A and B are shown apart, each in its own frame.
Chain A
Amino acid sequence: MLRVENLVAGYGRTRILHGVSLNVPKGGLVALLGGNGTGKSTTLKSIVGLVDVQEGQVVLNDQVVNTIPPEQRSALGLSLVPQGKEVFAAMSVEENLLMGAFHRRRDRAGIAADLEGVYQRFKRLRERRKVNAGMLSGGERQMLSIGRSLMARPSVLLLDEPSAALAPRIVEEIAEAILGLRALGLTLLLVEQNVGMALDIADYIYVIRGGRIAYEREVGSGIAMEELQEFYLGGQEH
């Protein structure tokens, strides 16, 4: 469904990705793991077009999309939940959700239905619909951020470290919400530092290091934790 082929990307002359290839099958939940500054976020940003692709390509449903302007990619079904639980702080919760449906201007009934769907999924957002998003807790912001992405009716959802800086109990809640999205039929690419959470919910993992894929394995095929940690933490012997 979503394929990334030999992606080389970065900011200006600085290259961060040196040929990253990934494959996310339809309905799959794939996790991209790695430490700080390894190129995880850059990979997601270049998929949606916030970072320029210098070489290689991003293919969505057999269509090359890295030549399409970012605002049109969301119409094709790509949606990013950015890192840092970002919300429009001066807007209410509901206004934030509606921003997610910005490109579906004619579809009023559909937007209302999806809004209801998001409120069903994240009950706390309904209670706080009129509240300014800047007043929300970290967990609520993450839910709002995911909800806003859902409002764009994506087929592929890209999540950038949804568990970062959240209490363990909230991380569990977010993990459950992600599994719920998968049950909905969404294709998910998850970037994480939280290896435990990723192994709990993903069915395939990639480990990125220094802008290259260093390791990939199907979850449940006997991933040796020591081996994974070595790649993750940067063992040099291999």
Chain B
Amino acid sequence: MKTLLAAIAAVALLAVAPFGLGGYETNVLMMVLFFVILAVGLDLVSGYCGQFSFATGAFYGVGAYTAAIMSRDLGTSIWLHLPAGAVVAGLFGLLLGIPALRLKGHFLAIVTIAFQTIVYLVISQWTSFTGGQVGLTMPNAGPVRIFGVTLFEFGSLRSYYWLTLAMTVICLIVAWRLIHSRLGREWVAIRDDETLAGAVGLDTTRGKLTAFVAYAALAGVAGVLTAHSLRGVTPDDFTIWISATVVAMMVVGGRGTFVGPIIGAAFLATLPEFLGKFAEYKMLIYGVLLVLAITLVPEGVVGRWRARTSR
């Protein structure tokens, strides 16, 4: 109950934040929200189901390019792009889930890196379809009309910020429901002991594939939001660096804790803003934080805190 109130207060605060902040800060806050979706999504497959993935950037990109290409070729709106991005990225997630049925640990991690690289190469080289290195630009998302009355004109930074906030809340609710569903129990069982999960009669194939699909679909949603907010896509926004950053966010915050990746994303995404001229070394700092977290607090900040308080 207390947690729910805190969550509602946090969302309310974030909703009114643009009134007290400048455009730059609002933009930073919006980036934080993109990373929150990505980190919580990765936590489903890695933290709860125990399957490594360094391909978050790839699914993020698939979502973003789905929106950009649909917008260019079909002239569709963001309301169609959001589900389409989730579905297309989810299908790619299913594709990556298939090798995960046979591979474990390091070997799976290597396959996800290869997958990330392939997706990056396709979006950066297939110029006629994806715009190549230059990427694609997108028009405004357009007005929101109900019965012909314009409720809301998409265009201002704030409008995209609020949409992102609303979608983040929806994504978090979906992730929360999944974790606390039967499927979520199955994921945790697979993470704990896959052989035993099979012996108990759980369908480990279904468990792993659904975890990959859910993870990829959330990243796809984040991609659609990013493409629209930035009014375009470029391949360099969806590199393995993004994947590594999201891994660091999840691990530092705490795998399999739900709140951990949210805090990790907020911390690491805002960190460069406080680094001043050292901001260009952010990947180095993320790397150091990741190593420190894995060696000193492998359960993450939130994981450690929970272990402390439950004693």
Interfacial residues, chain A to chain B (CB-CB below 8 A): 48, 50, 69-71, 73-75, 79-80, 82, 86-91, 95, 98-100, 102-103, 105, 148, 152
Contacts and interface: CB of A to CB of B under 8 A. Distances in A.
Interface of B: 182, 185-186, 188-189, 191-193, 195-203
A185 to B, nearest CB: 21
B193 A71 contact: no
29 contacts: A48-B199, A50-B198, A50-B199, A70-B201, A71-B203, A73-B201, A75-B201, A82-B195, A86-B193, A86-B195, A86-B199, A87-B193, A88-B189, A88-B192, A88-B193, A88-B197, A89-B193, A90-B188, A98-B185, A99-B185, A99-B189, A99-B202, A102-B182, A102-B185, A102-B200, A102-B202, A148-B200, A152-B200, A152-B201
A72 to B, nearest CB: 8
Among B192, B197, B201, B202, find the residue whose CB has the most chain A CB atoms closer than 10 A: B201
Most chain A beta-carbon contacts within 10 A, residue among B182, B186, B195, B200:
B200
Contacts of B193: 86-89
Contact of A91 (B182, B188, B195, B203): B188
Contacts, number: 57
B183 to A, nearest CB: 11
Contacts of B188: 88, 90-91
Contacts of B192: 88-91
Nearest to A74: B201
A168 B143 CA distance: 76
A103 B199 contact: no
B201 A88 contact: no
A75 B201 CA distance: 8
A103 B201 contact: yes
A99 B188 CA distance: 11
Contacts of A74: 200-201
Contact of A79 (B182, B197, B201, B203): B201
Contacts of A148: 200
A91 B202 CA distance: 16
Closest 10 CB pairs of A and B: A74-B201, A88-B192, A71-B203, A86-B196, A82-B199, A80-B199, A71-B201, A90-B192, A99-B200, A88-B189
Given A90-B192, A91-B192, A70 B198 contact: yes
A148 B199 CA distance: 11
A122 B202 CA distance: 24
Contacts of A103: 201
Contacts of B186: 102
A40 B201 CA distance: 20
Contacts of A70: 198, 201
Contacts of B202: 71, 99, 102
Contacts of B198: 50, 70
A91 B195 CA distance: 16
Given A99-B189, A105-B182, A88 B199 contact: no
A50 to B, nearest CB: 6
Contacts of A91: 188-189, 192
A121 to B, nearest CB: 19
Nearest to B186: A102
A86 B192 CA distance: 10
B154 to A, nearest CB: 43
